Chains A and B, each alone.
Chain A
Amino acid sequence: MAVPETAAPARAERTDNVYVAPAWKMTWWRFRKHKLAVFSLWIVGLIALISLVPHFFATTDPHATSARRAYIPVQPVRFVHEGRPALPFVYGVVGERNQRTLRMEWVVDEELRRPLRLFARGHEYRLLGLIPSDLHLIGFANLAEGEPTPALLGTDRLGRDQWSRLMIGTQISMSIGLVAVALSTLLGILLGGISGYFGGLTDNVIQRVIELLQALPPIPVWLALSAALPRTWPVTLVYFAITVILALLGWTRLAREVRGRFLSLREEDFVTAARLVGASRARIIFSHMVPSFASHIIAAVTLAIPLMILNETFLSFLGLGMRPPAISWGVMLQEAQNLQSVVNAPWLLLPGVFVIITVLALNILGDGLRDAADPYSN
């Protein structure tokens, strides 16, 4: 007798849960079922962590140049030494100048084993820009005095360590995407909300402006705007200018979406009810209307970030976005701008792989969120 008694309330409780659960909780329940999207969430979380404390993940100073260490190929982490399994390590490389082509050629020297160490000490940096630290996730043991750290992902034309540059570049590339999207979200929600709530002439004017902006070819306009940035501007100023430029044409789609939501919600019973009990306009908007389309906005925003990242990448790639000494994925890809450098050093394309993984994860995450955003459809 005891068994059914305990089981039945449990089931009843769960069904009750569905009826009383707030919208965000139901969205989360649905999202959890989309395995690939949950996996993408982990990837995005990892990338976010890297962009928060990039120096912790770097192995060496990303700005350090060394003319004698140019174009070292990828030095893979190995687990097998002389046919026997070993703790992770990297073989050292020795440079030899080819007498005919006068190019440096890098040969793996199996005598030089550099075991990986976790939480090693390395170059100094400031954690979150505040706390001085020299702790790094990975480091190498057995390094000779003054020997540079092995380049896990190779080095570029100036002998800079690609792995470390990629970690630092993550910070700028990700944050530009985020800030630009935040700006355009703000504009989109504000103008879309005004347009949808008030209607009439205001709506008409805003809609015409949106149509005008959407009819502009985005890439030539972005190019023209970023070509207008003075060469003498410091990195931070360029950074903000680029985000503003990207956001300028990006807000229109979101504004349309928000307006559409407002238009349909305005007629809903619960909004009418709120109006009838005498709720203020601000209260109707912020505590009744906004929560009911917040999940849609979050999904739309997640899908907008990867577009911004791609746009920053190609602007920087063309030399019109971020400029060295700033490091972003697009700036790194500038090194691989022509066929010759790609043929000589294919690993210069690796930042592109990072772009693809990030954009892929964000897109899948955004799709998962969008599917989950409507928790009442089931």
Chain B
Amino acid sequence: MHWFILKRLLVFPILIFVFSIIAFVLIQAPPGDYLTSYIAELAQGGTTIGQEEIDALRRQFGLDRPLYVQYGIWVSNLLQGDLGYSFEWRRSNAELIGERLMLTLALTTLSLLFTWAVAIPIGIVSATRQYSVVDYVFTVLNYIGLATPNFLLALVLMWLAFDNLGISVTGLFSPEFQNAPWSWARFGDMMSKIWLPMIVLGTAGTAQIARVVRANLLDELGKPYTEMARAKGLPEWRLVLKYPTRVAIAPVVSTLGWYFPQLLSGGLVVAVVMSLPTIGPLLLRALIGQDMYLAGTIILIYSVLTLIGTLVSDILLALLDPRIRMDGA
């Protein structure tokens, strides 16, 4: 067991190293650099900028050096905990990403909890009442849930909320709390707004997870120990919740590995539509403006979070299922 975890941990730095190269290549892929898009933007506003000034800026940003040097500087700074500097915002990346990262993680975690809270009961009900009306209704809803892009759901819910309640639910904070320091009032304000993005993001995976729970529980319900408990006269609902459900929802924990990253990157589009102060819109802007160190750092953060998710779920799965442990060792 320890050996298994150790092995996974040893691969971890190698993967992060590979990902840092991929992230760097990705942000270098567009033709030109930040200055070309900056100059284009200035030109659109009617301002022109002299060649000397451009050269000076290029030197100041270190864009005149060869690529591998730029990569080296970026990575060695990252290793020292320095996330770099955003050309566009003229601020340090750590400052820009910090709060947004926290909000992103908070929102993603809440959505995950929401998904479980909805999907597990649905799965249990569908399995215990297999082929009933309820089961069919949930199956249909599952299919529709899989087919709906979540930004569309966001738009429709925002529209309904506006039409019926007259409120415009965009962002996570009311204007007066936008730039305020953290306080209970600000936290309360956020909580009053976070439910809509939470529902939008959470419903995305509900369909899949409910399906997993349903299938697992159906397998468990036919087993002898369930029959045994039934024969002993345990009330049906208590029986179901007490024994087979516990076994059936265990694999759901392992969905953390693929579902958490999926939520994280799926939230990106929703965040743009609902103008949430999360990482997504920041990445989009940085990519379009070729603000390369900001974009690269964010992509790397996404990758690392994805890796951590996979690692955590592998470990959890190994704890739950000895067969996998043997396989991995």
A201 CB to nearest B CB, Å: 18
Chain B interface main SS type:
helix
* 8 A Cβ contacts from A69-121 to B: none
Interface string of A355-369 (1 = CB under 8 A from B): 111011001100000
Evaluate contact between B299 and A363: CB separation under 8 angstroms.
Answer: no
Contact A227 B288 (CB under 8 A): yes
Pick the most buried of A216, A228, A359: most chain B CB atoms within 10 A of its CB.
Answer: A216
Residues on B with C-beta less than 8 A from A363 are 143, 146-147
A221 to B283, CA, bound (A): 11
In the complex, which of the residues A224, A306, A317, A346 has the most CB atoms of chain B within 10 Å of its own CB atom?
A224
Q: Which residues from chain A contact B158 at a C-beta distance below 8 Å?
A: 339, 342
| B143 contact set on A, CB distance < 8 A | 360, 363-364
Bitwise, B163-197 to A at CB < 8 A (1) or not (0) is 10000101000000000000000000000000000
- A351 and B101 alpha carbons, distance in the complex (Å): 33
B265 to chain A: closest residue by CB: A219
- Write the B123-138 contact mask toward A (1 if CB under 8 angstroms, else 0): 0000000000000000
| Complex contacts, A218 vs chain B, CB 8 Å | 265
Partner of B302, one of A220, A228, A337: A220
Q: How far is the CB of B26 from chain A (nearest CB, A)?
A: 4
Known: A212-B18, A223-B287. A217 touches B269 (CB 8 A): no
CB closest residue in chain B, given A359: B147
Docked Cα-Cα span, A359 to B302, in Å, equals: 28
Across-interface contacts of B159 in A (CB, < 8 A)? 339, 342-343, 346, 349
B231 at the interface (CB under 8 A from A): no
Decide yes or no whether B152 CB sits under 8 A from chain A. yes
- Tell me if A342 and B155 are in contact (CB < 8 A): yes
Within 8 Å of chain A (Cβ to Cβ): is B112?
Answer: no
Chain A residues within 8 Å of B27, by CB: 224
On chain B, the residues within 8 Å of A224 by CB distance are 26-27, 29, 287, 295, 299
Tally A residues with Cβ within 8 Å of B: 37
Contacts of A364 in B (CB 8 A): 143
List the A side residues contacting B272 at CB < 8 Å: 318
> B295-311 vs A: 1/0 string, CB under 8 Å?
10011001101110010
A2 at the interface (CB under 8 A from B): no
Pairwise interchain contact A219-B266, C-beta atoms closer than 8 A: yes
The contact of A228 among B19, B30, B152, by CB within 8 Å, is B30
Distance between Cα atoms of A227 and B152 in the complex (Å):
22
Residue A215, interface by CB 8 Å:
yes
Q: Find A219's partner among B146, B149, B268, B305 (CB 8 Å cutoff).
A: B268
Q: Closest approach, in angstroms, between the C-beta of A333 and any C-beta of chain B?
A: 8
Residue from the list B29, B149, B295, B306 in contact with A352, Cβ < 8 A: B149
Residues of B near any A CB (own CB < 8 A): 15, 18-19, 22, 26-27, 29-31, 143-144, 146-149, 151-152, 155-156, 158-159, 162-163, 168, 170, 261, 264-266, 268-269, 272-273, 283-284, 287-288, 295, 298-299, 302-303, 305-307, 310
Beyond A215-B15, A216-B19, A217-B302, 7 additional pairs, beta carbon < 8 A? A212-B18, A223-B268, A223-B283, A228-B26, A342-B155, A343-B162, A356-B147
Listed from nearest, the 5 A-B pairs whose CB atoms lie closest are A219-B265, A228-B29, A359-B147, A227-B287, A224-B26
Give 10 A-B contacts (CB < 8 Å), ordered by A residue: A215-B303, A215-B306, A224-B29, A224-B299, A228-B31, A230-B31, A317-B149, A336-B155, A343-B159, A356-B144
